[in-house]
């Protein structure tokens, strides 16, 4: 995410993309070859990652369609909803390994949590009831996320949890040690 100083966050002229995306999909359908993929991920793997548009999770990890669940949000934060997805992933769809991916130059590093919430409250009249989950150090933030997974009573498989910071300048993953 790339938040601007105000809630508008706009950086120039905007025109909607959806019509072009639909045209792209017509071409995609013509060469579609994933008919036989199973519902459960082949590698029994779930990846939790930031939504940053510079990260193609499949590409950076050499994954194929059908290999893994990819759960994304702003920051790749382990929120209640991420836990919900992981619980379904593990209990119903057989995943046993979790890889966390945060990254350098994350939009959340530029957000002051209190100021941002005050700004939203001033504009909307309602203070957000959710945490923005801003942070300074992506390595520390990955440690925090690993800690949350280990603390959660709902996550069954915790033996294979590893966390990484992706460097957006060279594409390399740096493992976070506890």
Residue 50 or 82 with smaller CB distance to Zn ion: 50
Q: Closest approach of Cβ 102 to Zn ion, in Å? A: 7
Q: Closest approach of Cβ 5 to Zn ion, in Å? A: 18
Q: Closest approach of Cβ 11 to Zn ion, in Å? A: 17
Residue 41 or 70 with smaller CB distance to Zn ion: 70
Q: Is beta strand 161-166 parallel, antiparallel or unpaired with respect to 97-103? A: parallel
Residue 41 or 75 with smaller CB distance to Zn ion: 75
Q: Is beta strand 68-73 parallel, antiparallel or unpaired with respect to 97-103? A: unpaired
Lateral strand order in the sheet of 97-103 = 68-73, 45-50, 97-103, 161-166, 173-176
Residue 95 or 141 with smaller CB distance to Zn ion: 141
Q: Which two tokens mark 158?
A: 């915790």
Q: Closest approach of Cβ 136 to Zn ion, in Å? A: 13
Report the C-alpha gap between 96 and 31 in whole angstroms: 32
Interface contacts to Zn ion, rule CB under 5 A: 50, 52, 106
């Amino acid at each position: 995410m790339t938040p601007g100083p105000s809630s508008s966050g706009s950086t120039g002229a905007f025109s909607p993309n959806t019509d072009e995306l639909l045209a792209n999909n017509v071409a995609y359908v013509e060469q579609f070859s994933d008919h036989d993929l199973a519902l459960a991920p082949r590698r029994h793997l779930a990846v939790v990652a930031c939504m940053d548009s510079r990260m193609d999770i499949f590409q950076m990890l050499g994954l194929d369609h059908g290999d893994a669940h990819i759960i994304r949000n702003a920051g790749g934060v382990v929120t209640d909803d991420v836990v919900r997805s992981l619980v379904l992933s593990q209990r119903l769809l057989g995943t046993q390994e979790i890889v966390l991916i945060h990254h350098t130059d994350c939009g959340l590093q530029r957000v002051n949590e209190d100021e941002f919430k005050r700004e939203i409250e001033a504009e909307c009249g309602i203070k957000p009831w959710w945490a923005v989950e801003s942070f300074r150090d992506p390595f520390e933030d990955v440690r925090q996320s690993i800690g949350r997974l280990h603390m959660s009573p709902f996550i069954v498989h915790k033996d294979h949890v590893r966390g990484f910071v992706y460097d957006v300048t060279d594409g390399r993953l740096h493992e976070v040690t506890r």
